[in-house]
Amino acid sequence: MQPYSLTVDKFLDHAAKWHPRSQVVTATGAGESSRTDYLALRAQAKRVSVALAERGTGLGDIVATLAWNTHEHLESWYGIMGLGAICHTLNPRLLPTQLAAMLGRSGARILILSADLQSLASEVLARGTAIEEVLLIDEGLSAGRIADDALKVGTLVDATREAAGEVEWGRFDEDAPCGLCFTSGTTGAPKGVTYTHRGNYLHTLRQLQADVAGLTGEDAILTMVPMFHANAWGLPFSVPAVGGKLVLPGRHADGATLARLIVEEQVTLGVGVPTVWLGLMDHLDQTGEDLPSLRRIMVGGAAMSPSLMERIERRGIRVQTTWGMTEISPLGTAMPPAAGARPPSASGRPAIGIDLMLADASGTALDQQRGAEGHLWVRGPSVVERYLGQAEPVTRDGWFDTGDLARIDESGILTITGRAKDLIKSGGEWINPAEIEAIIGAHPDVSQAAVIGREHAKWGERPVLLVELRDGAEIGDEALLDTLEGKVANWWRPDSVLRLANMPLAATGKIDKLRLRSEYGR
Ligand code: ADP
């Protein structure tokens, strides 16, 4: 057979050749969207490659992006990766010190930046990084221009207009790295994961299967998961790979913008962490609007709340649960879209190319792999081998410890039962917050629930429940805790309930347990 390198630039080549007029739409704000198609997007991505090459970027060099989900960001991704350089995506919701530390680790010299993030970038760059040039994605916003005489600042539009010549894509080995992303850091310090072309290519094929995302060229996919969160779960590769319509929210995540995009673009599938869809459901409840085109919402990244799932499915929109993490590119398992009745906590099966194993706390495989709870280990060609800057692999005998606790039923369906790092040790025994959260979260009055350990003189730690109720809900603390009766041991019952007007969310939209612990854990 032919030596045909599995490099990600081939997805956009394919889209431009076979689906040239399929659209990529970006919400630009104030009820407006900009649109391009795969043919134009590829041409512009090629110009980005030329502009970067003119600036000395080549194979293995790192180019950083600090940007929202826009077509310009996508053009930058392909422009960087097609060249053989590595796209380091940065999360604008992190602190300047964290971002400066990440840039320090990657050593990127060029930063591609959404124009409205200039003041954040100024604070990051003031801390000292290797960045020499900033290329602005100009969305018509000029707030807080970067003021640093040592830096070259221009726009991507100008840089690509001036770009002359041609650059050939994919002239390198498929094992070459193409992306760098740090974990969200919901429970620990963010760690850098380097993706390869081959890993992402195989991940894309896995994601496209009917029992996984099941994308087609007829779908319009609203990608709410940010491009800085685990490769937007691979959608920037898999949607062009089938020539589907890609709908991007820009920097907007409010319910009204989502509803508008879904109606205007006839979106069939929405993808994002569970909390993103709360705002959409609230908006629909308030306005009485309907979303007839939307058939399915794919969620992952955190446990799905039963009450939110019920709210979405009542509207005839199917909720598809998945499990994944940054370290595994990120898709691990998915509930088949056509599966019958299933609980919101079940996350489906792995598709070919990723394997699961349950182990005890020391990493020894459990004798019983079905029905028992264990520590979840994974392996496959899209699973991390070593974190950025580490010489030693993080794997053991080829397996990676996810840090999650899970159970797999007789039919192979995975349920995440908790996170090893989240467990609460009370009187020497373990309490699993995820189990309590799932029960409390099923109550119709509850919008979001989190359980953390609070220091306790006698027991070491005791659980505390933090809840955000739905608007107008009046349930009392005792009634809320009584829902646990008979479902968990008595000593698991949280000692107190704290009501929050707004549950704090971490940078990727998940409940921020680190913050909850620092504010309420003492
Ligand atoms: P971080 O680990 O910092 O949150 P990621 O965004 O990579 O970074 O998140 C991966 C983690 O998210 C998993 O290890 C798991 O704990 C959690 N997670 C993902 N999907 C699910 C799910 N379906 N149910 C419960 N937890 C999930």
Q: What pLDDT does 514 receive? A: 87
> Which CATH number fits the domain that encloses residue 398?
3.40.50.12780
Give the side-chain half-sphere CA count within 13 A for 91.
26
> Which CATH number fits the domain that encloses residue 479?
3.30.300.30
Q: What pLDDT does 139 receive? A: 62
Residue having the nearest C-alpha atom to atom 11 of ligand 1: 325
Boundary-marking domain end, from 383, 408, 433: 408
Residue having the nearest C-alpha atom to atom 24 of ligand 1: 303
Query: What region, left, alpha or beta, does residue 297 occupy, with left being phi > 0 and alpha being psi -120 to 50 degrees?
Result: beta
Is 286 contained in some domain? yes
Rounded-to-integer distance, Cα 318 and Cα 144, Å: 42
Q: Which atom of ligand 1 is nearest to the CA of 347?
A: 23
- Res. 149 pLDDT band, cuts 50 70 90: confident
Q: What pLDDT does 183 receive? A: 87
Boundary-marking domain end, from 408, 440, 465: 408
- Any idea which residue has 């990723």 for tokens? 354
Rounded-to-integer distance, Cα 163 and Cα 156, Å: 10
The 10s digit of each residue's pLDDT in 114-148 is 999 999 999 999 999 999 999 999 765 555 577 67
Q: What pLDDT does 147 receive? A: 67
Beta-sheet strands, E only, within 249-393: 269-271, 296-299, 318-324, 331-334, 346-350, 355-359, 373-379
For ligand 1, residues with CB inside 6 Å are 183-186, 230, 300-303, 321, 323-326, 330, 347, 402-404, 416, 419, 508, 510
Is 414 contained in some domain? no
Based on the fold, state whether residues 248 and 124 are members of the same structural domain. yes
Boundary-marking domain end, from 408, 437, 466: 408
Based on the fold, state whether residues 119 and 219 are members of the same structural domain. yes
What is the distance in A from the centroid of ligand 1 to the CA of 423?
15
Based on the fold, state whether residues 455 and 327 are members of the same structural domain. no
Rounded-to-integer distance, Cα 331 and Cα 395, Å: 18
Q: What pLDDT does 10 receive? A: 98
Based on the fold, state whether residues 320 and 433 are members of the same structural domain. no
Q: What pLDDT does 142 receive? A: 56
What is the distance in A from the centroid of ligand 1 to the CA of 323?
7
Q: Is pLDDT above 70 for 185?
A: no
Rounded-to-integer distance, Cα 113 and Cα 136, Å: 5
By the 8 A CB rule, do 293 and 264 touch? no
Mean pLDDT across 311-322: 97
Q: Which atom of ligand 1 is nearest to the CA of 188?
A: 3
Q: What pLDDT does 270 receive? A: 98
Rounded-to-integer distance, Cα 351 and Cα 453, Å: 35
Q: What pLDDT does 73 receive? A: 98
Is 329 contained in some domain? yes
More confident residue, 95 or 333: 333
SS3 at position 344: coil
> Could you tell me what percentage of the chain is helix, strand and coil, using 3-state DSSP and rounding each to the nearest 5?
30, 30, 45
Amino acid identity of residue 463, one-letter, is P
Token code pair at residue 95: 């602190």
What is the distance in A from the centroid of ligand 1 to the CA of 79?
29
Rounded-to-integer distance, Cα 253 and Cα 515, Å: 22
Rounded-to-integer distance, Cα 296 and Cα 299, Å: 10
Pocket-testing residue among 184, 273, 276, 325, ligand 1, by greatest number of atoms within 8 A of Cβ = 325
Based on the fold, state whether residues 353 and 439 are members of the same structural domain. no
Q: State the DSSP H helix or E strand holding residue 460, giving kind and residue range, or none if neither.
A: strand 460-469
Q: Is pLDDT above 90 for 197?
A: yes
Q: Is pLDDT above 70 for 491?
A: yes
By the 8 A CB rule, do 83 and 57 touch? yes
Question: Pick from 225, 213, 350, 236: which is nearest to 295 by CA?
Answer: 213
What is the distance in A from the centroid of ligand 1 to the CA of 330?
9
Cα angle 224, 179, 241 (rounded to 5 degrees) comes to: 60
Domain that holds residue 443: 423-520
- Res. 468 pLDDT band, cuts 50 70 90: very high
DSSP string, 183-249: ---SSS---EEEEEHHHHHHHHHHHHSTTTT---TT-EEEE-S-TTSGGGGGHHHHHHHHT-EEEE-
Rounded-to-integer distance, Cα 114 and Cα 399, Å: 38
Is 1 contained in some domain? no
Residue having the nearest C-alpha atom to atom 9 of ligand 1: 325
Residue having the nearest C-alpha atom to atom 5 of ligand 1: 325
Q: What pLDDT does 187 receive? A: 61
Percent of the chain with pLDDT over 90: 87
pTM flag (> 0.85): yes
Based on the fold, state whether residues 353 and 452 are members of the same structural domain. no
Question: Pick from 495, 440, 496: which is nearest to 468 by CA?
Answer: 440
What is the distance in A from the centroid of ligand 1 to the CA of 242?
27
Average pLDDT of the residues of the chain: 94
Residue having the nearest C-alpha atom to atom 1 of ligand 1: 184
Is 507 contained in some domain? yes
What is the distance in A from the centroid of ligand 1 to the CA of 404?
8
Based on the fold, state whether residues 337 and 431 are members of the same structural domain. no
Is 489 contained in some domain? yes
Based on the fold, state whether residues 402 and 274 are members of the same structural domain. yes
Q: What pLDDT does 421 receive? A: 82
Question: Pick from 421, 420, 414, 342: which is nearest to 375 by CA?
Answer: 420
Is 278 contained in some domain? yes
Based on the fold, state whether residues 513 and 382 are members of the same structural domain. no
Give the side-chain half-sphere CA count within 13 A for 303.
27
Q: What pLDDT does 144 receive? A: 55
Based on the fold, state whether residues 153 and 203 are members of the same structural domain. yes
Q: What pLDDT does 141 receive? A: 54
Q: Which atom of ligand 1 is nearest to the CA of 508?
A: 6
Q: Which atom of ligand 1 is nearest to the CA of 322?
A: 23
What is the distance in A from the centroid of ligand 1 to the CA of 388?
19
Q: What pLDDT does 428 receive? A: 85
Torsion of CA 245, 248, 254, 258, to 10 degrees: -10
- Res. 340 pLDDT band, cuts 50 70 90: confident
Number of helices (H), then strands (E), belonging to the chain: the values are 14, 25
Is 418 contained in some domain? no
Rounded-to-integer distance, Cα 302 and Cα 319, Å: 14
Amino acid identity of residue 403, one-letter, is G
Rounded-to-integer distance, Cα 356 and Cα 333, Å: 9
The 10s digit of each residue's pLDDT in 238-296 is 999 999 999 999 999 999 999 999 999 999 999 999 999 999 999 999 999 999 999 99
Cα angle 453, 370, 183 (rounded to 5 degrees) comes to: 45
Pocket-testing residue among 323, 349, 384, ligand 1, by greatest number of atoms within 8 A of Cβ = 323
Q: Which residues are catalytic?
A: 183, 327, 425, 430
Mean pLDDT across 385-410: 96
Based on the fold, state whether residues 394 and 507 are members of the same structural domain. no
Question: Pick from 448, 438, 510, 439: which is nearest to 473 by CA?
Answer: 448
**First-to-last C-alpha distance (Å) of the chain:** 63
Q: Which atom of ligand 1 is nearest to the CA of 506?
A: 4
* Total number of domains constituting the chain: 2
Based on the fold, state whether residues 367 and 454 are members of the same structural domain. no
SS3 at position 23: strand
